[in-house]
C-alpha cells in the first residue's frame, strides 16, 4: 500500500460521473481512434507494460467513444466538469508522487481499488467495471500520465 497516501482521492464526483454514464452508455456512439495520441510513446514514458495496455484495449477501449460522446453532450456539462476536475486532481497527485512508483500499471490498479473502497455502491449492476474504464480513458486520452 505504498501508493495509498499520495494517490488517494476523496471526491464523490467520479462515482457520480460513472453512475450517470452507466445509465446513458447504451445510447452513445461507439467508435474510438487512438490515432491522435502517440500511445506507444506514452506507454514507454509512463512505464505502462505492454500486457497492461493490451488489457486496456481488450476490456475498456470499446467504451472510449461512448465516454467521449457522453462528456461532449451539452446536458452532461456538469458531469464533464466533474470528470475534468477529478482527472486534474489525479494527474496532480500522480505528478507529485512520480518517484514513489516504478510502473503505471500499479498506479491504475491502486486508483481503482481506492475508488471502489470509498464508493462500494459502484459494485452494483456492473458499474465497478466502469471505474477501470474511466481510469483507462483518462490515461489513453492524456488526462492523466505524462504526455509525449
pLDDT in tens, 76-133: 999 999 999 999 999 998 988 878 888 999 999 989 998 998 888 888 888 888 999 9
pLDDT at residue number 34 = 58
pLDDT in tens, 11-35: 677 777 777 887 777 776 666 665 5
pLDDT at residue number 147 = 84
User: Half-sphere exposure (CA, 13 Å, Cβ side) for 123?
Assistant: 7
Q: How many CB atoms lie within 10 A of CB 41?
A: 12
pTM: 0.80
Output DSSP code: residue 148.
-
pLDDT at residue number 16 = 78
Amino acid at each position: 500500500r505504498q501508493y495509498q497516501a499520495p494517490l488517494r482521492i476523496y471526491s464523490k464526483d467520479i462515482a457520480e460521473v460513472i453512475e450517470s454514464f452507466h445509465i446513458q452508455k447504451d445510447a452513445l456512439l461507439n467508435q474510438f481512434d487512438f490515432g491522435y495520441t502517440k500511445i506507444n510513446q506514452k506507454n514507454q514514458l509512463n512505464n505502462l507494460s505492454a500486457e497492461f495496455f493490451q488489457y486496456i484495449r481488450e476490456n475498456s477501449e470499446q467504451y472510449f467513444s461512448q465516454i467521449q460522446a457522453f462528456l461532449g453532450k451539452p446536458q452532461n456539462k456538469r458531469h464533464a466538469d466533474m470528470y475534468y476536475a477529478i482527472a486534474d486532481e489525479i494527474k496532480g497527485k500522480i505528478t507529485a508522487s512520480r518517484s514513489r512508483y516504478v510502473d503505471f500499471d500499479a498506479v491504475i490498479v491502486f486508483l481503482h481499488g481506492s475508488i471502489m473502497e470509498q464508493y462500494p455502491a459502484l459494485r452494483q449492476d456492473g458499474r465497478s467495471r466502469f471505474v477501470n474504464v474511466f481510469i483507462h480513458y483518462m490515461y489513453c486520452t492524456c488526462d492523466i500520465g505524462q504526455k509525449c
